[in-house]
Each structure stands twice: as C-alpha cells, then as structure tokens.
Amino acid sequence: MSSIVNKYLQTPTEVGVVAVGFSGGQQKDGVDIAPQALIDSGLLTTLRDDLNYTIHHDGVVHTYTKLFPTSDPPLHVSGAKMPMLKPQTVSNATEALSSQVYEHAKEGRLVLTLGGDHSIAVGSISGVAKAVRERLDKEIAVIWVDAHADINSPQTSGSGNIHGMPVSYLCGFSSAPAENPSVFGWLEKNHLINPKKLVYIALRDVDFGEKKILRENGIKAFSMHDVDKHGIGKVMEMALEYVGDSPVHLSFDVDALDPMWAPSTGTPVRGGLTLREGDYICECVHETGLLVAMDLVEVNPNIGPRDGVDGVLGAAETVRAGSSLVRCALGESLL
Ligand SMILES: [Mn+2]
C-alpha cells in the first residue's frame, strides 16, 4: 500500500473500475478487446493483492451495443472537410460511460477507466468533472499524455474520427452540431473542463488546425521536444507546478510511448516516451496525492506484426506496458 496521502478521495483505498470495450471513435477493430486483455494479464488482481486496493468492478466489459442507433450515417457539419464518423454511436456510448464514472467518483473513489479508443475520455472526464464539482466544489485538472492532442473540432478534423476530438468537446470549444443536436447534446456545463487546467505531455503529431487551437487558447503543452530538452524530471516538475493543487484526472494514451515499447496501438508515432519515462510520469502524479481518476486507452492487441503462431507480436508487450502505467499511477514504486 502506498504511503502517499490522497487529498481529495474520500475512500482512497477504493478503485472504481470501468472496462470500456469501445472502438467507435476510430476505424480499427481490436481496441475494444484491450480491457479484457489488461484484466487477463492480472492488472486488477495486482491492484487488489499487491497494492491493497478494494476493487469495485461489475465484471463486465461494456460495449454499449444496445445503445447504438440502427443507422449512424456520417454527419456533415457545416464548415467541415470531413463528416463526423459514427457520431450518434460515440455520443451514446460516452453518455453512458459518463454516468458510470460519475457514480464511482461521487463516492470519493479513484476511478480507473480501461479503454477503448480515446473518444471515451469524453465520458470518463465529464463524469469525474461533474462529481468533483458537486463533491468538492472544485475544477479538475487534466494531464493528457499522448502523441496527439485530440483537440480537433469537427471543422478542423482531417479524418472525421471522433477519437481526435474529445478534448475539443470537453473544453467546450465544440458542442452539439446544429445538423444533429443529439450528438453530444447530453454534455452540460458541469461536465466540462477548464482549458487553463489542461496540460499535455509527449505530443509529437499535432495537426495544423490543432496547433492553432492550442496557441489561441494558451493551452499548456510539453511536446517530445520539451522532454528531450529538459528531461522528463524537469517536465513533470513544470507540469505539476502548472496543475497546482487541483484534483487530477490522468488520461494516458498508450501511443505516448514510443512504438518500441507499445507497438500495438492504432496510430503509433516514432520518437515517443520510453516505458520508464511513462512510468515516471505516473509515479510523479501518484506522489502528488492529487489523482482522482485515470484513463488508459488505445491499446490494440490486434495491431502489430504477426508471427503466425501466437498471433500478434507486440500485443503482450503493449498490454504489459499499459498495465505498468496504471500500477505506477496507483502507487507501485521501485523501492
Ligand atoms: Mn489520444
């Protein structure tokens, strides 16, 4: 059990786990089987047996298929180059997830969301933001660790994939489109985050339109350039100073890690974090005692070179890396 005292959780030894087998925010199958792969690798047992957490988990990997509309055509939004893909599917799934996460967070538990693609952060972060406002009258800070900024609006997106847009919706830069107001129409003001309390780490593949959004809104970001320049130690010092004493939601996209460490992910980008640097980020966040929620997303066990015998090479490695990140954020330490 960690010796760090958590400042904001009412029951810091309890973790609410939501397993989200959802891939609708992008095009590749497989990211939906990640939660089961993480659980099968022993992640939850380790949290219980080695880190002494009480785990609240319904034992279900949620796919939300009952909530999917029978037809979900691409949504052409005014001013957009590409239509939004599976808009109602993503909206419905994240709405349900938001309530699930909210139910755990309002009890004062740490919430761990296992994805799934990164579109699910619209659900997890909104649920935590709402619960923390109600319970503590505070705004959360979000530490978004990712190769990508995921802050496209439907207008700036070059693909229409919603996993590249969650931050835009969470910041309130985008909202339900006039062409179909039921898409993310469920997002209320108390679900949103303050862009001034958002900090990125490990960015290295940011679209032109996203760079403009980051600049114009003065959003704090540490790219891989900053990690190279200052080292991960100094970057974490600066990132945590920026966060101050706000409750922290850590949203970790496994593609923040270099493909050498996490090859099985949908949009790998070379030049990323080492596994140790990723673990270090999580250890530092744990040590603050501010962590109230974590997402681990974009592990895709179907992606990677095939060896013809056991299936995908690199999948087990990526699952192990993801599992390590979660354990570090929840208090596993080297000594
Ligand atoms: Mn992402």
Q: Omega into 322 within 30° of 0, i.e. cis?
A: no
Instruction: Return the pLDDT at 308.
Output: 57
CA dihedral 72, 129, 210, 225 (to 10 degrees): -130
Please count the CA atoms within 13 angstroms of the CA of 2 that sit on its side-chain side: 25
Place of tokens 């309002």: 106
Instruction: Return the pLDDT at 307.
Output: 60
pLDDT digit string (tens) for 48-71?
999 999 999 999 999 999 999 999
> Ligand 1 centroid to 144 CA: how many Å?
8
CA 147 – CA 144 distance, rounded (Å): 10
The CB density around residue 40, as the number of other CB atoms within 10 Å, is 11
Q: Are strands 220-223 and 248-253 parallel, antiparallel or unpaired?
A: unpaired
Contact yes or no for 254/31 (Cβ under 8 A)? no
Which of 29, 1, 8 is CA-nearest to residue 249? 8
Question: Annotated active-site positions, please?
Answer: 118, 146, 148, 150, 163, 253, 255, 298
> Ligand 1 centroid to 309 CA: how many Å?
30
pTM for the structure as a whole: 0.97
> Ligand 1 centroid to 205 CA: how many Å?
11
For 17-329, give the CATH class.
Answer: alpha beta
| All residues with CB under 5 Å from ion ligand 1 | 118, 146, 150, 253
Instruction: Return the pLDDT at 314.
Output: 86
The domain locations on the chain are 17-329
> Ligand 1 centroid to 49 CA: how many Å?
30
Q: For residue 278, give both structure tokens.
A: 């990723």
pLDDT under 50: residue ranges of the chain:
none
The CB density around residue 106, as the number of other CB atoms within 10 Å, is 18
> Ligand 1 centroid to 118 CA: how many Å?
5
> Ligand 1 centroid to 235 CA: how many Å?
19
